[in-house]
């Protein structure tokens, strides 16, 4: 027998791209989905994204896990409950995006995130088992790049012949010592693929087929209305709340270039050099984000598209 499974990761509140991916897969006859985390933050349509996930779970067989963004959200919930002394998020370029997202989530959403594992083993009788995760099987923030040494180490460690993840926003796969790694890329904010929703379809054969039990990945890059997503950053107030972080997201959405880690690290470095004091995230002053963006060549979209 043969079966197909849709795999989606790193939606980042981009409901428009998410819906595009699901509808395409539905037209291909997909009735089973794996969702690999980072459902929210970075764009505006958090409520719509969460409702679409719930609707999808009612209509089809869906297995989901938690990404690092959901982990951040749950950490802030503990702060608000007085269970953690981590900082509260501010409306600034460091954490405004996350605060905006948090305020759109319901208790149902937070409880849903709490219920999710950070990895699981996908199993279907007759087909090879697949280790599924967001970052790595034990750390949702670990980057398993294609061909990376840590990725190879994980392929050696796991007890399945297939490993699938997201988080890096780089799509592709490779084989190592007879095992296979697939990365979905990002549905919501793809790197090197502006205006495209990245995801994949797993095509499986079971042990009754002549070629034996195996999985192959069909990598998808689907065009969606990226102009709506960018315009909504202004119209729904996220640009005002997230400032340079969201300006950088416009840069990524429209060009495929992502300088997020560099922007934050450079801003912190500049503030520390100027003040002579260590900086604790998210207490990074806007002037240093402005200077960092200029040094990195990130356009200033804060007051509108150029």
Residue 278 CB-half CA count within 13 A: 1
CA distances, 10 to each of 124, 135, 183, 284, 300 (Å)? 24, 11, 11, 26, 25
Q: Compute the Cα dihedral for 213, 219, 224, 226 and give only its sign.
A: positive
3 state SS of 41 = coil
The per-residue pLDDT for 74 is 98
The per-residue pLDDT for 211 is 81
The per-residue pLDDT for 306 is 77
The per-residue pLDDT for 108 is 98
Task: Provide the greatest CA pair distance for the chain.
Answer: 68
Q: Which two tokens stand for residue 2?
A: 């043969």
pTM over 0.85: yes
Chain centre distance of CA 134: 8
Backbone angles phi, psi at 52, to 5 degrees: -65, -35
Per-10-residue mean pLDDT, the chain, length 306:
97 98 98 98 98 98 98 98 97 98 98 98 97 98 98 98 98 98 98 98 91 95 98 98 98 98 98 97 98 98 90
Q: Which residue has the tokens 């984000």?
A: 289
CB 207 within 8 A of CB 126: yes
Nearest to 192 by CA among 270, 268, 258: 258
The per-residue pLDDT for 210 is 81
The per-residue pLDDT for 212 is 87
């Amino acid at each position: 027998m043969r079966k197909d499974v849709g795999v989606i990761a790193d939606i980042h509140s981009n409901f428009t791209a998410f819906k595009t991916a699901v509808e395409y897969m539905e037209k291909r006859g997909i009735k089973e989905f794996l969702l690999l985390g980072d459902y929210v933050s970075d764009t505006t349509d958090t409520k719509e994204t969460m409702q679409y996930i719930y609707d999808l779970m009612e209509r089809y067989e869906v297995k989901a896990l938690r990404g690092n963004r959901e982990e951040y959200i749950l950490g802030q919930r503990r702060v608000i409950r007085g269970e953690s002394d981590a900082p509260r998020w501010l409306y600034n370029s460091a954490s405004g995006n996350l605060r905006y997202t948090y305020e759109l989530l319901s208790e149902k959403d937070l409880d849903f995130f709490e219920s999710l594992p950070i990895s699981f083993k996908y199993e279907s009788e007759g087909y090879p088992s697949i280790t599924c995760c967001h970052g790595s099987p034990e750390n949702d923030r670990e980057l398993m790049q294609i061909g990376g040494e840590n990725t190879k180490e994980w392929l050696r460690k796991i007890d399945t012949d297939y490993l699938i993840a997201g988080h890096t926003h780089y799509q592709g796969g490779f084989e190592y010592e007879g095992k296979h790694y697939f990365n979905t890329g990002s549905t919501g904010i793809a790197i090197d693929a502006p205006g495209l929703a990245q995801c994949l379809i797993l095509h499986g054969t079971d042990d009754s087929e002549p070629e034996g039990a195996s999985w192959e990945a069909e990598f998808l890059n689907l065009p969606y209305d990226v102009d709506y997503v960018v315009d909504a950053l202004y119209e729904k107030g996220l640009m005002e709340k997230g400032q340079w972080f969201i300006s950088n997201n416009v840069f990524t959405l429209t060009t495929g270039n992502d300088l997020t880690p560099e922007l934050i690290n450079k801003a912190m470095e500049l503030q520390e050099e100027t003040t002579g004091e260590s900086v604790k995230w998210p207490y990074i002053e806007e002037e240093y984000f402005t200077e960092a963006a200029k040094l990195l060549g990130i356009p200033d979209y804060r007051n509108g598209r150029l």
